[in-house]
Amino acid sequence: MRRITVKKAAATSIDALAVGITFAFLNVNIFTAVVVIGTVTFILSMAGVKAGNRFRMKYKAKAEIAGGAVLIFLG
Radius of gyration of the chain (CA): 16
What is the count of structural domains for the chain?
A: 1
User: What is the reported pTM?
Assistant: 0.58
* pLDDT tens sequence across 14-48: 888 888 899 889 988 989 999 999 999 999 999 98
Domain range for 29 is: 1-74
The answer to whether residues 33 and 23 touch, using CB atoms and an 8 Å cutoff, is yes
- Which DSSP helix (H) or strand (E) runs through 44? helix 30-55
